[in-house]
A and B are shown apart, each in its own frame.
Chain A
Amino acid sequence: MILIPILCLLLGAAIAFLVNQPLRGEFGIYIAVACLAGLDSLFGAMRSSQEGKFRTDVFVSGFAFNTLAASGLAWLGDRIGANVFLVCAFIFGTRIFNNLSLIRRHWLTQWQDAQLKKRQEALQAQAAASAPNQQAKAN
Chain B
Amino acid sequence: MMNPFAHRVSLNPQVAAVSVFAIILGYMISTAWITNESRFGSRDADQRERLALGTIDQQDKVRQQSEEIARLQAQLTKLQNAVGKDESAGRLLNQSLQELKLFAGLTEVRGPGIMVTLRDGPAEGTDSMLPTELVIHDRDVLKVVNELWSAGAEAIAVNKIRVSARTSFRCVGPTILVDDNKIGTPVVIQAIGNSEQLKTSIEMPGGIWDEIRQTDPRMITVEQVSKMDLPAFTGRTGFKIGEAVVAK
Contacts and interface: CB of A to CB of B under 8 A. Distances in A.
A46 B25 contact: no
B97 interface: no
B40 to A, nearest CB: 10
Contacts of B28: 12, 16, 31, 34-35, 38, 67
A45 B5 CA distance: 9
A80 interface: no
Interface stretch (B9-17, B54-62, B86-94, B225-233): B9-17
Interface residues of B, number: 35
A131 interface: no
A42 B34 contact: no
A8 interface: yes
A32 B25 CA distance: 11
A13 B26 CA distance: 4
Contacts of B23: 8-9, 11-12, 15
A12 B36 contact: no
A128 interface: no
A20 interface: yes
A68 to B, nearest CB: 12
B27 A16 contact: yes
Interface in A17-72: 17, 20-23, 27-28, 31-32, 34-35, 38-39, 41-42, 45-46, 49-50, 52-54, 56, 59-60, 63, 67
Given A4-B19, A8-B23, A13 B36 contact: no
A12 B35 contact: no
A52 B14 CA distance: 12
Contact of A11 (B5, B17, B26): B26
Interface residues of A, number: 42
Interface string B36-64: 11110000000000000000000000000
Contacts of A67: 28
B31 A5 contact: no
A99 to B, nearest CB: 13
Nearest to B3: A49
Contacts of A16: 26-31, 33-34
A1 B4 CA distance: 12
Contacts of B35: 22-23, 27-28, 31
A116 B180 CA distance: 74
B26 A8 contact: yes
A127 interface: no
A5 B4 contact: yes
Given A2-B8, A54-B1, A42 B21 contact: yes
9 contacts: A5-B5, A5-B19, A16-B31, A28-B32, A42-B21, A45-B4, A49-B3, A49-B14, A63-B24
Interface of B: 1-8, 11, 13-15, 17-39
Q: Which 3 A-B pairs have the closest CB atoms?
A: A12-B26, A16-B30, A28-B35
